[in-house]
């Protein structure tokens, strides 16, 4: 019974990875019939090239701000949605809506919004700095992408944190209230400790998402302007499919892959730990 699933998985998942590792040690360009074994030359080449390092710097910068903004905003939204007030289920339903749409659809909408809608308002209001698309300026492109990314990602993460908030025992909150704790104190001493397992999962997921970002950038800026938003994934894509630097693309992919694998491992440890506690 295990055979069909195992076959598909091995053939379309494990074999490509092995092939990739093999090619990263050769000088193959994706077209040639033959290839030579070159050892770690591709890795050295990638690590000493400015393009790869620039992409890594972009990814690190992007991930840093993305994670901070995501975790803070998602916690705030989750706490807002955790209020027992009238109509909260309707709010929850609407707040989850962005999670079901394709990131590409959303990006295409925002592409038009940045490109036409915002400049048209800027013109009527006389704000000259906004008359150009936010995506076409080197200094704002990253933030424009991040806004779209947060718009897509926040619903899901807020719901995860909301689920975490609902595990906080009601009597503990009640006891704190009776003891005269204010809202900040309740959050700090009661809610937050209960949220740590959920928050750590959200945090790790966000780090992974930030390091792997591809779709949104491909649609919104395609790495531009002037390669200012070229993430590592964009670079791998460009190297493999456009520049015919196949083997180097694989070396780059494997290096970033090791980092992501390490992060996934940490994530698994955290979620196992929170289960046994």
Partner 1 sequence: MKKKTLSRLLVYLCLILGLLLILLPLYITVCTAFKRTSDSLRNYLSLPTDLYIDNFKYIVTKPDYWQAFGNTVLITAVVCLGDALLMPMLGYAVGRRMEESKGWFRFYFYLLLGIFIPFQVKMVPIVQMMSALRMLNPFGLSVLCIGSTTCEATFLYTGYLKGIPRELENAASIDGASTWTAYKSIIYPLMRPIIATSVIKDGLWTWNDFTLPLITLNRSPKYWTLVLYQYNFQTEAGVDYGLVFACLCLSMIPILVFYLCLQKQIISGLTAGAVKG
Is the backbone peptide bond immediately before 225 cis, with ω within 30 degrees of 0? yes
Q: Is 261 in the site for partner 1 (CB under 8 A)?
A: yes
Joined tokens for residue 15? 């074999």
Nearest to 81 by CA among 146, 151, 164, 149: 164
Q: Is 246 in the site for partner 1 (CB under 8 A)?
A: yes
Sole binder of partner 1 in the list 35, 41, 176, 215 (CB under 8 A): 215
**Region 31-50 residues binding partner 1, contact defined as CB under 8 A:** none
| Residue 67 or 236 having the CB closest to partner 1 | 236
- Stretch in the footprint of partner 1 (CB under 8 A) among 46-54, 60-68, 166-174, 233-241: 233-241
The residue count for binding partner 1 (CB under 8 A) is 83
Q: Is 196 in the site for partner 1 (CB under 8 A)?
A: no
Joined tokens for residue 131? 């008359």
- Stretch in the footprint of partner 1 (CB under 8 A) among 15-23, 38-46, 126-134, 135-143: 15-23
Sole binder of partner 1 in the list 49, 54, 111, 137 (CB under 8 A): 111
Nearest distance from residue 135's CB to partner 1, in Å?
A: 13
Nearest distance from residue 147's CB to partner 1, in Å?
A: 10
Sole binder of partner 1 in the list 64, 121, 143, 192 (CB under 8 A): 121
Longest CA span, the chain: 76
- Cα 50 from chain centroid? 23
Q: Is 110 in the site for partner 1 (CB under 8 A)?
A: yes
d(Cα 151, Cα 211) in Å, to the nearest integer? 18
Q: Is 16 in the site for partner 1 (CB under 8 A)?
A: yes
Nearest to 231 by CA among 209, 201, 204: 209
**Region 141-180 residues binding partner 1, contact defined as CB under 8 A:** 151, 156-157, 159-160, 163
Nearest distance from residue 123's CB to partner 1, in Å?
A: 11
| Residue 36 or 102 having the CB closest to partner 1 | 102
Quickly list H helices, the chain.
3-9, 15-24, 41-48, 50-81, 88-96, 103-112, 118-125, 138-165, 170-178, 183-186, 192-212, 215-220, 232-241, 246-276
DSSP 134: G
């Amino acid at each position: 019974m295990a055979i069909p699933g195992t076959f598909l998985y091995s053939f379309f998942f494990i074999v490509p990875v092995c092939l990739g590792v093999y090619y990263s040690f050769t000088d193959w360009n994706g077209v040639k019939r033959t290839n030579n074994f070159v050892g770690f030359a591709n890795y050295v080449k990638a690590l000493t090239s400015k393009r790869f390092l620039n992409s890594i710097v972009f990814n690190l910068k992007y991930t840093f701000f993305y994670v901070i903004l995501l975790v803070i905003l998602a916690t705030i939204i989750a706490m807002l949605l955790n209020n027992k007030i009238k109509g909260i289920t309707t709010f929850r339903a609407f707040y989850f809506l962005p999670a079901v749409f394709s990131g590409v659809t959303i990006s295409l909408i925002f592409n038009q919004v940045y490109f036409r809608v915002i400049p048209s308002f800027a013109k009527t209001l006389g704000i000259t700095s906004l008359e150009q698309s936010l995506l076409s300026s080197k200094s704002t492109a990253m933030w424009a992408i991040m806004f779209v990314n947060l718009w897509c990602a926040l619903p899901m993460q807020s719901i995860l944190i909301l689920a975490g908030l609902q595990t906080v025992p009601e009597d503990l909150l009640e006891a704190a209230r009776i003891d005269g704790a204010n809202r900040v104190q309740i959050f700090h001493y009661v809610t937050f400790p209960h949220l740590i397992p959920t928050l750590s999962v959200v945090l790790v997921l966000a780090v992974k998402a930030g390091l792997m970002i591809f779709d949104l950038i491909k649609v919104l800026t395609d790495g531009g302007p002037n390669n200012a938003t070229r993430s590592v994934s964009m670079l791998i894509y460009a190297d493999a499919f456009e520049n015919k630097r196949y083997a180097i693309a694989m070396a780059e992919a494997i290096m970033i892959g090791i980092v992501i694998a390490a992060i996934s491992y940490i994530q698994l440890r955290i979620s196992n730990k929170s289960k046994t506690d």
